[in-house]
Amino acid sequence: MTTKPAYYLTTAISYPNGAPHIGHAYEAIATDALARFRRLDGYDVFFLTGVDEHGLKMKQTAQKEGLTPRELGDRNTPQFQEMCRVLQVSNDDFIRTTEPRHHAAVTEIWKRMEAQGDIYLDTYAGWYSVRDEAFYAESETEVGEDGVRRGPSGTPVEWTEEQTYFFRLSKYGPALLKHYAENPDFILPPERRNEVVSFVEGGLQDLSISRTTLDWGIPVPDAPGHVIYVWVDALTNYLTGAGYPDTESESYKRYWPADLHVIGKDILRFHAIYWPAFLMSAGVPLPKRVFAHGFLFNRGEKMSKSVGNVVDPFALVSVYGVDELRYFLLREVPFGQDGSYSHEAIVARINADLANDLGNLAQRSLSMIAKNCGGALPEPGDFTEEDRALLDLADGVLATVRNALDTQAIHKAAEAIWNVVGEANRYFASQEPWALKKSDPVRMGTVLYVTAETVRQVGILAQALTPDAAGKLLDQLAVPTDSRDFAHLGEAGRLHAGTELPKPEPVFPRFVEQDEKQAAQ
Ligand code: ME8
């Protein structure tokens, strides 16, 4: 049994009605960075992602493609799994809502809500968006110039009238408002919390939670002809992942309630209103936080010629590289806000921050060690004020990173780490170790040692953002694999003088345009 504190975090589960797109990739990468930071910081992390296979949207897409919904899920799910692999997403489990374990969890939560007296049969008549799998009040819809009625997210709605089961959502308004007030960080970022609070303050309607016009879903217990509404089904995946309904299982006791649900801003209502209300009804403790990230848009500018489809994460990885794409998205887009990407912006980040600032610093200092110090880490002499200032900065950055990550500000964590890289470059340039080779080789050794030690700390921290390249950087510094967590930051893991280093290899190549490459050949 581990003594590490548990940390359970999740992404939304994607609809596998098509191939994964950049929005799915972004969410997976960001959640992965958060998972890796926690693991490196000594937590016992459980990271869940997966796919949402039921519902009308899956059924309709399958019909269009001449498949059953199960066949559609079976065909597309491996692409989501492959996306996680390609993006270096370190999920511990991958859930499909068609799995028997999930069937059991959804059935149980339904029965508990029913036993609480929160489920009743009535007739539903109202607007439904298949794309959002959401019911909207008439006041939330609008008829556009094209005569099509649309919901608040801009997706078409259709009139639906059928006998369904309802959940007494209206009853939970006061309890939800109390929960938001007592747990001000339950919903982040704060502007999103305010939206939710105003919506709930406006009064909640009971929610239709079953369908009879659809046969693709989990059956309502003891009610032939009814299947459970896809959002009751989908949200429950977070419980299934922890081992529910076996509330005595080790995993449930260890990981529930979840620490963090990372989702996009379009599905906040489901996560911040419906989900906690279902859980309150079922007597299950609430997750600690729901973080809504923004949307990613292509700026509409030219992408590299080889990125045929700019929303295809596989194409983006093959053109820019996985660490490069991850770094760009995590550093460039303030987490929680909308962001845009373009070829120019990605290349600028790769070449400035990765190739120039970190890559060159590592390459230049390590090549000097290889050439002038017999390939072994030099023995440092007495530290000057400048040496100490840089080491102190590197030693202190973990506090800033932790602080940023307390509110999932991944971009601030990345900025703090790269601030150390910037200072290390200024230090290296001002100390001119190359000029000390003849005049003061001991001082040269000290400067190279301090630079290498700073790169070590950056490498350890950067593992959460750019896992492959950071790992290679640490290999170049001969940092043992069991000494790469945050417990080895600062004094605790200082490089040892005399350690033999492998031949330095560039870790972050510059991005060279296809036409420049051809011209150079
Ligand atoms: O909503 N930029 O699935 P989904 C950033 N099955 N994020 C984006 C995005 C974009 N352009 N487009 C989508 C569903 N997302 C449900 C979730 S959870 C119990 C059920 C995000 O495949 C979106 O906000 O439509 C969501 O968090 C995730 O991708 C999956 O979206």
The CA angle 472-476-479, to the nearest 5 degrees, is 90
Same fold, 6-118+168-293 and 350-500: no
Residue 55 half-sphere exposure toward CB, CA atoms < 13 A? 25
Q: Which atom of ligand 1 is nearest to the CA of 263?
A: 27
State the distance from the centre of ligand 1 to the C-alpha of 23, rounded, in angstroms. 7
Fold of 350-500: Isoleucyl-tRNA Synthetase; Domain 1 (1.10.730)
pLDDT digits 0-9 by tens, 103-138:
999 999 999 999 999 999 999 999 999 999 899 989
SS3 290: strand
* 3-state secondary structure labels for all residues of 327-364: HHHHHHCCECECEEECHHHHHHHHHHHHHHHHHHHHHH
Distance from CA of residue 138 to its chain's centroid?
34
What is the Cα–Cα distance from 401 to 406, expressed in whole angstroms? 9
Six token digits for residue 224: 């032939």
**Has residue 228 got a pLDDT over 90?**
yes
Looking at every residue in the chain, the average pLDDT score rounds to 96
Name the residue of 237, 267, 333 whose CB sits within 8 Å of the most ligand 1 atoms, as the mutation to test its pocket.
267
Report whether 358 contacts 421 (CB < 8 A): yes
Q: Is the CB of 13 under 6 A from ligand 1?
A: yes
Task: Answer whether 262 contacts ligand 1 (Cβ < 6 A).
Answer: no
| CB of residue 448 inside a 6 A radius of ligand 1 | no
150 strand-pairing partners: 142, 156
Evaluate whether 201 touches 177 at the Cβ level (below 8 Å).
Answer: yes
For the Cβ of 239 lying below 6 angstroms from any atom of ligand 1, the answer is no
Question: Does ligand 1 come within 6 angstroms of the Cβ of 217?
Answer: no
272-306 confidence digits (pLDDT tens): 999 999 999 999 999 999 999 999 998 866 676 67
Q: Which CATH topology does 6-118+168-293 take?
A: Rossmann fold (3.40.50)
Task: State the pLDDT at residue 327.
Answer: 98
How confident is the model over 11-35, as pLDDT tens digits? 999 999 999 999 999 999 999 999 9
Stretch 472-499: mean pLDDT = 97
Q: What number does the ligand 1 atom closest to the CA of 52 have?
A: 6
Query: What distance in angstroms lies between residue 22's CA and the mean position of ligand 1's atoms?
Result: 10
CA 411 to ligand 1 centroid distance, Å? 20
Between the CA of 265 and the centroid of ligand 1 the distance, in Å, is: 9
Q: For the chain, which residues make up each domain, given as ranges?
A: 6-118+168-293, 350-500
Beta bridge partners of 340: 297
Under DSSP, the state recorded for 270 is I
Residue 135, CA distances (Å) to 65, 77, 273, 411 in order: 25, 26, 14, 35
* Residue 200 exposure: Cα atoms within 13 Å on the Cβ side: 26
Give yes or no for residue 296 CB within 6 A of ligand 1.
yes
Q: Which residues pair with 14 in a beta bridge?
A: 51
How many angstroms is it from 7 CA to the middle of ligand 1?
22
In whole angstroms, how large is the CA radius of gyration of the chain? 26
In which residue are the tokens 């030693």 written?
395
Residue 454 to residue 488: CA distance in whole angstroms = 13
Taking CA atoms, 184 is separated from 199, 237, 293, 501, in Å, by 16, 25, 17, 49
